[in-house]
Amino acid sequence: MPTVAKSKSGASKARKTSSKGTPPPPDPFDLLCAELRAIAVLESVQRTLSWDQETLMPAGGSALRADQLQALSGMLHERRTSRKFGDLLRASEEAHASSDDELVRADLRELRRDYDKARTLPKALVQEITRTQSLGIEAWKHARQGSNFKAFLPWLQKTVDLSLEKARCYGVPKGGEPYDPLLDDFEPGMTAAQTREVFTPLRARLVPLIDRVRRSGARVDDAWLRAPTTPGAQREFCRRVCERVGFDFTRGRFDDSTHPFCEGIGPGDTRLTNRHREDGWSEALMTALHESGHGVYEQGLPKDKHFGRPIAESISLGIHESQSRMVENFVGRSRPFWQWAFPVAREVFGDALRGATPDAVWRAMNAVTPGLIRVESDEVTYNLHIMLRFDLECAMLNGDLRCRDVPGVWNERMKRDLGVEVPDDRRGCLQDIHWSMGILGYFPTYTFGNLYAAQFWEQIGRDIKDRDALMSKGEFAPILEWLRKKIHRTGKRWRAAELCRRITRKPLGADPLMRHLEAKVDAVYGG
């Protein structure tokens, strides 16, 4: 009996054993998968260290941590962009040129894209971007504190210049614009033009909706959300809710950090963080639900089997965000959810909620209040903050807007879209960290998340007829199973647009989200 090398990827199943009985040479794709796994293990070390840094590391450990992370990122960059890696990739492409294995094809498609992108940028540019990033963040912190846009202006200009250079290296597609290759880093395959196609009708319907709320003069009483509760009780409530919606604590944790996040460290280890305020419990709950959505996605990706391969990774930031927004907004702000969750909250928080009703809490959770700060904004107004940033980024990159004119345009648009006056740049165009980190092309993924979530949620409603009745009894397993099957387990097999068409039989559009928001405003504020 010939010894046949065990194929880890399964890709070599289709290859023939030599008729002479000698074992075939190893499939280059198997070797590639072994290297991908080794790289993924080192990446998971990076993520463990980053998580520790944000949650537990004593202050004195920061210099060592920087050295640890630098050592790992150096090793990883070398392995990901090495000639050896490139050779394996090319050999795999040749060996599987006509493969009918959809997973292998998806892997090779994504690996080629990543490898070429990683090697496209000259080292000098990468270093310049990294340097600008760390200096830019410091400059931004000071500028924001003093509400001094002028102090930040050179860094914004530098960010635009370096982004244009980066886009030029990646290559701007014919008929496209510089925004396209930048956005592609975060939302592969999406373009600025396609984004506008969805954003334009979304904005056209959102602005009058918010105007309607404002002019109605109705006020939602949200005092219950500020009922006095301890961080300990908040943690307990969040834990019970997150466990129920599907986060598996035997394969994950929940800790505290200054800025909440989800770290999918690797197979069997996904960690969420949250923060707790003494003056209100709703922010902690919504954050916990949001991060749980991310966490449940990470736990559902097929990492146990394919760790390191693209098919075990998430599709895009937009799809990742769709999972967190769905749990936060479509589950956690829904009436049926509160029918189940309210008694739990009463049990955990005790007298703090005496006299409240599920309906009162649900209503408080859905107040629409146009404001200045994106991260504090409600579900309805949130997307207008994003679209403003997207339009400004495109205009700067296309040369239609000078950086120094950003504050004026920002403030004028905030007045027009949300009816709010921006009193200073600190609460205006200096509020976000992203531009200071040299990141252009990221913001739209937040709204993609909301759009995808709405479109998937409608489909879930069609596929699971008693969805809302189940939720009101705290039964989320059928929804989780739907997500596992349709989204989580498919990894990066399809790009986001393709996934959306396969699941909903339609391209991404503004209608589902607008239907959801309009119905909610009707219910909360009256038709």
Report the C-alpha gap between 363 and 222 in whole angstroms: 8
Q: Quick one: which of 41, 223, 469, 523 contacts its own copies (CB under 8 A)?
A: 41
The verdict on 60 binding its own copies (CB under 8 A) reads yes
Min CB(277)–its own copies separation in Å: 22
Q: Is the backbone of residue 429 left (phi > 0), alpha (psi -120 to 50) or beta?
A: alpha
Binding mask 295-324 for its own copies (x = CB under 8 A): ------------x-----------------
The verdict on 63 binding its own copies (CB under 8 A) reads yes
Binding mask 72-111 for its own copies (x = CB under 8 A): x---------------------------------------
Q: How many CA atoms lie within 13 A of 485 on its CB side?
A: 9
Q: Quick one: which of 2, 23, 67, 359 contacts its own copies (CB under 8 A)?
A: 67
Measured in residues, the chain has a length of 527
Q: Quick one: which of 44, 287, 381, 490 contacts its own copies (CB under 8 A)?
A: 44
Contact 10, 96 (CB under 8 A): no
Q: Quick one: which of 34, 49, 126, 470 contacts its own copies (CB under 8 A)?
A: 49
Q: Quick one: which of 28, 266, 300, 407 contacts its own copies (CB under 8 A)?
A: 266
Nearest to 293, CA basis, from 256, 258, 257, 252: 252
Min CB(44)–its own copies separation in Å: 6
Neighbours of 357 (CB within 10 A): 12
Q: Quick one: which of 50, 52, 369, 371 contacts its own copies (CB under 8 A)?
A: 52
Q: Quick one: which of 236, 248, 424, 518 contacts its own copies (CB under 8 A)?
A: 248
Q: Quick one: which of 28, 136, 181, 252 contacts its own copies (CB under 8 A)?
A: 252
Min CB(55)–its own copies separation in Å: 9
From 61-69, 193-201, 273-281, 359-367, span contacting its own copies (CB under 8 A): 61-69
Q: What letter would DSSP give residue 13?
A: G
> In whole angstroms, how far apart are CA 277 and each of 262, 273, 486?
19, 14, 36
The verdict on 265 binding its own copies (CB under 8 A) reads yes
Size of the residue set binding its own copies (CB under 8 A): 35
> Of 291, 321, 328, 379, which is the active-site residue?
291
Nearer to its own copies, 68 or 99 (CB): 68
Min CB(134)–its own copies separation in Å: 20
* 225 contacts: CB under 8 Å, gap ≥ 6: 280, 281, 282, 361, 364, 365
The verdict on 343 binding its own copies (CB under 8 A) reads no
Contact 17, 2 (CB under 8 A): yes
Q: Quick one: which of 19, 98, 250, 258 contacts its own copies (CB under 8 A)?
A: 250
The verdict on 274 binding its own copies (CB under 8 A) reads no
Report the C-alpha gap between 430 and 120 in whole angstroms: 31
Nearer to its own copies, 61 or 399 (CB): 61
* 399 contacts: CB under 8 Å, gap ≥ 6: none
Q: Quick one: which of 14, 34, 57, 470 contacts its own copies (CB under 8 A)?
A: 57
- Treating both helix axes as pointing N-terminal to C-terminal, what angle do 282-300 and 477-486 enclose, rounded to 10 degrees? 50
Min CB(28)–its own copies separation in Å: 22
Could you confirm whether 291 is annotated as catalytic? yes
Contact 82, 44 (CB under 8 A): no
Q: Quick one: which of 4, 38, 193, 519 contacts its own copies (CB under 8 A)?
A: 38
Report the C-alpha gap between 144 and 121 in whole angstroms: 31
Nearer to its own copies, 2 or 61 (CB): 61
Buried b (16+ CB within 10 A) or exposed e, 492-508: bbbbbbebbeebbeeeb
> In whole angstroms, how far apart are CA 339 and each of 120, 143, 342?
53, 46, 6
Min CB(294)–its own copies separation in Å: 16
The verdict on 68 binding its own copies (CB under 8 A) reads yes
Report the C-alpha gap between 319 and 46 in whole angstroms: 23
The verdict on 64 binding its own copies (CB under 8 A) reads yes
By DSSP bridging, strand 262-266 and strand 269-274 are antiparallel
* Contact set with its own copies (CB under 8 A): 38, 41-42, 44-45, 48-49, 52, 56-65, 67-68, 71-72, 248-253, 255, 265-269, 307
Residues annotated catalytic, as ranges: 291
